[in-house]
Structure 1
């Protein structure tokens, strides 16, 4: 089967040419996605929301002006710009009666858009770039789909003429180069060997860094901060170079000071508002509290360390790089809508989980090595690599509410242990024959059959998949 280009995997094979849309006809021109984007140096992915009342006219007018201006500057290779609009709906799961609204939102625009029918691809894109429902967002991609900026809308409003387009963000070490970090109230008691008075980012020990975006006025933040402080101390006992930098969204210096007083890490000073804003833009922070982790080279390991911490409160798997085999949680249940999986259902006893890992791990390791998927990469890079075909997850479903939800989606009996291949993108499931012993060999044979399309799949009822898709 022909391998899809990155642009086709992200946006589908065809795009709407928006200027051919009109109210009097459902006919419009479609163009080849790959042909349009092969000549672009920068692709803007504009996520808009059709069914909410937002004052977005200023933004879209500035984007149109920039688009036209850069088209007229086509001699500048760096500024060959194309835009794909992704029209979505906030707080609305019923797509059937709003196709006309989709068309109206795109009429008269000079760029291209994903077709209305590409609902699954749009949902997948919104998860990939962590789009917040109801918040128009401009993501910039370079050649080969590499992310340039995850929140370029702010830069467009600051620089509507595009003088500094494509607004490539500065790396974190440059953003913090001239900043003297502020020690938290308990920093020196936790860092007894740290004697420097001027704490700068570059003098922090070489190791994993956490960036904690939070605020004193935010109740979930105040609830999470003591938990984070506790896990911070646990991690530093085995990883003493681990450090966290607090980036505040507080609204007053007094609130900031009160919050920092309980923290054992360092903080960007409150008066450094431009630095705090630049860090939030650099990482596309959509909400708080957010804890992200960087490796020693400044590459993102995970944007969702808060969830990792909740699922691994003893920090056994810190710094939470991808693993060949994972426990099924809500996060992985969501990913099942994007990627097929081999799932082994067992009860929650530790010995059963160890058994599940022991029989799944060899097949998973072989699969990932065969497909050159790097488990030393951070989670963001890892899950981008999974977008290349083939892509397969290996999950252990212990006795939990999430496992019950998955059983309900695919119509599985309450049998343990149970090995299944679940392909929600294609709405199908295959079950290992009852009575066959689950071993390394039988699991490996089952996986090979799936990859070779030799399994006997049965269809999953559509309404069950759709009903649970946005749980």
Structure 2
């Protein structure tokens, strides 16, 4: 029976480099990941870039690492993930990787673990060329997704590990500002509004800025969907979190907004919200439920796929239609994919047959789709269930794994393991036959087809790694 991996091994692989063993001539020493990190109370995952020089973060981090571990206040370890910023050409990347780790007192993901590093950079939404420190607790849960900023503010670690305040505390004393169209769209006399007025309803945080062209294009779309949703869900509210660079730009931008806004002068609050939710780029729309739990971080993509807001609040679904964002997730989790024609009846058939299978699978494996998606990583049994009609995303996937243009066709795909298996041609697609196929795939009783590393690595060049 296969031994279940610990979360440290799922993140970094079974072995990591002991950086102190590296030298110009000496071979690297690999140590067992779990045994090395199991006593760590706080684990730093430091993403650096070998072709970005003058890394001040690593200097501050080394000072902090030594200060904490010498003082023995608690066990603090660091695993470095060396990446390569995509805006530069490749030189001698293996030597650059080694040089990045020389004389450091912590550990690192091996050079050869390209796919693993791509997965880590996508998981923590690392922006190319920006050194980033992610802090995890003893269970692998994120404490801070951008701790390098706190490290700059508090280099001695007086407040380490810089646990973020919950959103209700961050916004406790903030009086929200109405957007320019708020009073008109709400047809009401203005009274002061605070975050606490909306705690029992679904609410969105919209991170955006007037200087950002994609933001300016998305804001009118969001306003249209917002107004449509409020006709059905009158308690729904959006709170704008600005990244504008001046008060004038901010005031100009909010003139057309029908929702509430964090005041421009609340600079610290705006920054704290961005850090709390790990915002890496704009525009970003995230939704929270009435308990303050994240429903989705991908509100923009949801609106692109559902411009009328018919599926609001876009809770996690058992079965999804394949799109570019799900193509990206295939690099993280195995999937059951049913290829069909684009005719509505064919898509409906696919939903009818896959939905009960997916719901039964998640229930049987105690997988809660309503938890934040980071939790999925903790479950080795997590599967995606996707329907692939004729579309650009489907063509991309077929090209990626060199799949024939046959429909209907069911496959089990494990891209992280570079393998897939098609269901036997001619077998009727029923709940029973598909369930049996999934069980045989997971137990290794189907004919496996291999996917080349080169093909998969070429598909991830947007997040180039070492």
* TM-score scaled by length of structure 1: 0.94
CA distance in 2, matches of 1:177, 1:15: 43
Q: Work out the CA distance in 2 between the residues paired with 1:175 and 1:387.
A: 28
Does residue 42 (structure 1) correspond to residue 42 (structure 2)? The answer is yes
User: Secondary structure of the equivalent of 1:405?
Assistant: helix
* Structure 2 gap ranges (5+): none
2:290 alignment partner in structure 1:
296
Tell me the distance in 2 between the aligned counterparts of 1:83 and 1:226: 43
Output one character per residue of 1:270-289: Cα deviation in whole Å (capped at 9) or x when no partner. Answer: 11111111111222211111
**Contact 1:373–1:386 (CA<8 Å) still a contact in 2?**
no
Is the 1:42–1:140 contact (alpha carbons within 8 Å) kept by the matching residues of 2? yes
In the other structure, the counterpart of 1:287 is 281
Q: Could you tell me which residue of structure 2 aligns to residue 399 of structure 1?
A: 390
Shift of 1:385: 2.2
C-alpha distance in structure 2 between counterparts of 1:424 and 1:152, whole Å: 31
Give the CA deviation at 1:131. 0.6
Structure 1 residue 36 displacement after superposition: 2.3
* 1:264 has 2:258 as partner: yes
| Aligned equivalent of 2:95, options 84, 92, 100 | 100
1:138 match: 133
TM superposition outliers: structure 1 runs of 4+ over 6 Å: 92-96
Deviations 1:310-331 (A, max 9, x none): 1222223222222111111111
Task: Report the counterpart of residue 24 of structure 2 in structure 1.
Answer: 23
Deviations 1:243-293 (A, max 9, x none): 111011111111111111100000011111111111112222111111111
1:149 is aligned to: 144
From 450, 454, 467, give the equivalent of 2:445.
454
- Determine the C-alpha separation between the residues in 1 that align with 2:451 and 2:100: 34
Q: SS state of the match for residue 353, structure 1? A: helix
Do residues 385 (structure 1) and 386 (structure 2) align? no
The equivalences for 1:307-456 within 5 A come to: 307-378=301-372, 380-381=373-374, 384-456=375-447
Distance 1:397 1:96, change over 3 A: farther
Cα deviation, 1:341-379, whole Å, max 9, x if unaligned, reads 11111111221111001111122112111111002324x
User: 1:97: Cα distance to partner?
Assistant: 4.3
- DSSP-derived class of the 2:231 partner: helix
Shift of 1:223: 0.5
Aligned residue for 1:144, secondary structure, equals coil
Instruction: Give 1:28 shift.
Output: 2.3
Unpaired stretches in structure 1, ≥5 consecutive residues: none
C-alpha distance in 1 between matches for 2:453 and 2:246: 50
* Residues 1:275 and 2:269 aligned together: yes
The structure 1 residue matched to 2:228, chosen from 226, 229, 234, is 234
Residue in structure 1 matched with residue 58 of structure 2 by the alignment: 60
Alignment match of 2:184 (pick from 185, 189, 202): 189
Deviation at 1:466, TM superposition (A): 2.8
Q: Could you tell me whether the CA contact under 8 Å between 1:421 and 1:431 is conserved in 2?
A: yes
Q: TM-score, normalised by structure 2?
A: 0.95
CA RMSD of aligned residues (A): 1.8
Measured after TM superposition, the shift of residue 189 of structure 1 is 2.0
Partner in structure 2 of residue 84 of structure 1:
79
Distance 1:93 1:7 in 2: 31
Moved more, 428-437 or 38-47: 428-437
State whether residues 12 and 109 of structure 2, in contact with CA within 8 Å, keep that contact through their aligned partners in structure 1: yes
Q: 1:120 aligns to what? A: 115
Counterpart Cα distance in 2 of 1:412 and 1:200: 53
Secondary structure of 2:3's aligned partner: coil
Contact map agreement 2:46 2:80 (CA 8 A) in 1:
yes
CA distance in 2, matches of 1:155, 1:461: 41
**Which deviates more from structure 2 when the two are superposed, residues 111-120 or residues 431-440?**
431-440
The aligned length equals: 461
Which whole-Å CA distance do the structure 1 matches of 2:357 and 2:412 have between them? 13
Spell out, residue by residue over 1:400-421, the C-alpha distance to the aligned partner (whole angstroms, 9 max, x if none): 0111111122222211111111
Alignment partners' CA distance in 1, 2:58 and 2:418: 37
- Which of the residues 233, 243, 252 maps onto 1:249? 243
Residue 333 of structure 1, CA deviation? 1.0
- Provide the secondary structure at the position in 1 that maps to 2:80: strand
Equivalent-residue separation in structure 2 for 1:251 and 1:428 (angstroms): 47
Q: Distance in 1 between matches of 2:390 and 2:62?
A: 52
| Alignment-derived partner of residue 33 in structure 1 | 33
Decide whether the 8 Å contact of 1:48 with 1:135 is kept in 2: yes
> After the TM superposition, which of the residue ranges 250-259 and 296-305 deviates more from structure 2?
296-305
2:332 and 2:281 map into 1 onto residues whose CA distance is 23
